[in-house]
Structure 1
């Protein structure tokens, strides 16, 4: 269910609050049953006994001085209905629970009402009688918070504050672990995480640090291998091209020789493959980021395209696009790779659009073409290194173009999406609007 908490902090806090509420309810019931109720019963017993004593003395008409003295000492007074109404009976509140307790002592039905003034007035009427008895008890200040309520409130606030602190302390290493795992998925390897928290969390952090170190070493070895291969291939490729040019016919015959033209074409392709290897190795290294306008980068890529391609790129750019913190060279590489893919595997026209989504706090740009496109599953497969979509590709390239794009976008904390539109295919890049760290 969506209403249930999902994070470890919220679940721990809800658990602690639930336990606290149960504890408060049980404490309230226990105090009520074993502290408050006995006190009310004792008070009801004393009130009933005072009324009984007053009735007994009132029956001894030969002792008027005794009756008056007892009334002054005990505070028990007897009024008619009219007198009681004048002296505060109308503002009193009935309490059936106390009436039941007084009835048990007097052994006859009674009605009991309470009224709070400077003192507590207990009004008692015995069933069948027209008169009311009033017993005054020592009252309490209404402006003061009842001790029981103050106790429960204080315990509740302290328990919730302590539970919140404990939940945050318990989940802080997990949040660090979550952020480190997210950074590692983008190819960013941070420093070793501190092994803090409970023993289980420390064990998980220790295992994660070991895994991160192994993956960082593996990534470094792979980068070194690809860089070494790229470096070692350039020298024999240069020698092969030099030998082909020395052995090829001179003049116009060289341009018409299919063998020479094929060798030169293959060498250019291999150099392009080597360049993609180097780009793939360098793609996680974002370097210094700057606050730039994406529209300016798009214009630069479109201008470069005009020198090499006959088909121009159409631009549909937003005028109110805010600046964003990115690595300029890396984003240009993303645009160039998407344009190359659109030309190689799509159909004209090629359109680059940009915009801003203020609700999602992000800017976006997309490269569209008029081709049939590919399925979502195939697109995700092609974003993996050295992967190609057989249905959409002719076997050219190394399968690193979209992999480089994905790694750069992930390193910027963005999203790479595809959209199959009625008029063609679209690849969309979404970048967050965030301040520089």
Structure 2
């Protein structure tokens, strides 16, 4: 296919509606338009045209009668126009010369070719027929018997400005068809919209109530299957949370006993004691991450809060670390968030920055369109950006350049929290080395 044809095809495809509702409305509207055109053409050809032809024939008969006896213009010194008007005084017709006809509105009359040809046949010579619309519909005829004269015939029973029964019929049928198509498409689209919202909620870890089974048979079957899937996923999520919570709880009991036992070790084994305590703290941190990952914060009420306040709190809490922690705060509005969860996001990002960086961390806040955002930068070795998205998966470690310390749940926790806030999180390498993590949260 030639390149211009491809461009035209792409442009045309962009104009076509994508959703089922719009496609149904366009389909019904197109079929209705074709039906209206065919109906109008049929009525015009088989009803309106014969009526005008019949009127044309009747007018031709009157004109033939007008000229059949000739016109006496010598007696009483009458002009041809006056003589003809005297003969048609009671027939409603008026005869004009060209100057009078133009003054009476001839120039505003529209020429009709097929009626002119028909009139020429009836009158036996070249004739011209025009129509003009004033208070009444007027027919102008230039007869072959007197080519310099015009005869005007008013059709008092026909007025083109009136709303004809045909036009009224087409308007009513068109309006009813469009309204019916719109209601049908809306009824078909409503369950699909409901299903779309529910599927989006499930993708974010929310499990709505079972959807009502309404609509066509196919939609009812799809909705029923979705309800079963959502119920199974909810049950699986609950079982997993219960299992992980139970394991985390059961592990902390022996860890506590081991720590108590280590406190009773003699001073000569201090190095061994320190190693045991360090291992216990690492294991406790991993268990804490497990619990944070399975915790569901959806039931916690959100509130309007200032992101800059959270950054300042984190900055104070992390001030004891060896290294430099900088902040760069822009003026940002309050947004609707769960402050504890967003603070956990900031804490995890700062923890990763100090863990994998070389001692320099910077936290910034900013506005970007309809979002309020913050970023955490470090001066570490960075990551392979091709695998950046996979780092948000549970139990996924970073590349060898940034080590493999921890459980691999930190970024997964961040991603889950930000998704539940309808926000965005991304990782990218800094131009001068290091990593920058950017978080965007919607203003409303």
Instruction: State TM-score, norm by structure 2.
Output: 0.87
Q: 1:193 to 1:105 in 2, by over 3 A?
A: same
1:399-427: per-residue Cα shift (whole Å, max 9, x none)? Answer: 10011001101111111122332023211
Q: Can you list the C-alpha shifts for 1:351-407, whole angstroms capped at 9, x where unaligned? A: 11111123xx22111111122322344221111111112334433211100110011
Q: Match for residue 418 of structure 2?
A: 409
Distance 2:389 2:380 in 1: 18
Structure 2 partner of 1:135? 153
Q: Is 1:177–2:188 an aligned residue pair?
A: no
3-state SS in 2 of match to 1:2: helix
- 1:233-259 CA-to-partner distances (Å, cap 9, x unmatched) read 01111111222222x213xx343x2x2
1:382 maps to 2:391: yes
After superposition, residues 286-325 of structure 1 pair within 5 angstroms as 287-307=300-320, 309-319=321-331, 321-325=332-336
How many Å apart are 1:6 and its aligned residue?
2.0
CA distance in 2, matches of 1:53, 1:367: 102
Equivalence for 2:224:
206
Per the TM alignment, residue 222 of structure 1 is displaced from its structure 2 partner at its CA by 0.6
What is the aligned partner in structure 2 of residue 356 from structure 1? 367
Q: How far off is 1:212 after superposition?
A: 0.4
Q: Secondary structure at the match of 2:319?
A: helix
**Corresponding position: 1:43 with 2:55:** yes
Counterpart in the other structure of 1:229: 247
Query: Which of 7, 16, 21 is the equivalent residue of 1:9?
Result: 21
Corresponding residue SS for 2:23: helix
> 1:267: how far off?
1.1
In structure 1, stretches of 5+ residues that fail to align are: 62-66
Match of 1:75 in 2: 92
Number of positions where the alignment pairs a residue of Structure 1 with one of Structure 2:
420
Give 1:260's match in structure 2, choosing from 273, 277, 288: 273
Note closer, same or farther for the CA distance 1:88–1:176 as it changes in structure 2 (3 Å cut).
Answer: closer
User: What is the RMSD of the two structures over their aligned residues, measured on CA atoms?
Assistant: 2.4
Report the Cα offset of residue 431 of structure 1: 1.0
State whether structure 2 residue 339 is matched by structure 1 residue 328.
yes
Query: Deviation of residue 277 (structure 1)?
Result: 0.7
Are the equivalent residues in 1 in contact too, given 2:202–2:230 (CA < 8 A)? Answer: yes
The equivalent residue for 2:403 is 394
- What is the aligned partner in structure 2 of residue 64 from structure 1? none
Tell me which of 291, 295, 311 is aligned to 1:282. Answer: 295
Matched with 1:92 is 109
Specify the alignment match of 1:18 in structure 2. Answer: 30
Tell me the distance in 1 between the aligned counterparts of 2:184 and 2:359. Answer: 60
Compared CA separation, residues 40 and 410, structure 1 to 2 (3 A): same
Instruction: For residue 318 of structure 2, give the secondary structure of its aligned residue in structure 1.
Output: helix
**Which whole-Å deviations, capped at 9, do the CAs of 1:90-128 have from their partners, x for residues lacking one?**
443322232123223334321112233333322211347
Secondary structure in 1 aligned to 2:231? helix
With over 3 angstroms needed to count, the CA separation of the structure-2 counterparts of 1:381 and 1:41, relative to structure 1, is: same
Deviation string 1:116-149 (CA, Å, 9 cap, x unpaired) is 3333322211347323223222155576444443
What residue in structure 1 maps to residue 354 of structure 2?
343
1:9-34 Cα distance to aligned partner (Å, 9 max, x none): 22222222222222222222222222
Q: Equivalents in 1 of 2:385, 2:38: separation in Å?
A: 56
1:336 CA drift (Å): 0.7
Cα deviation for residue 328 of structure 1 reads 0.8
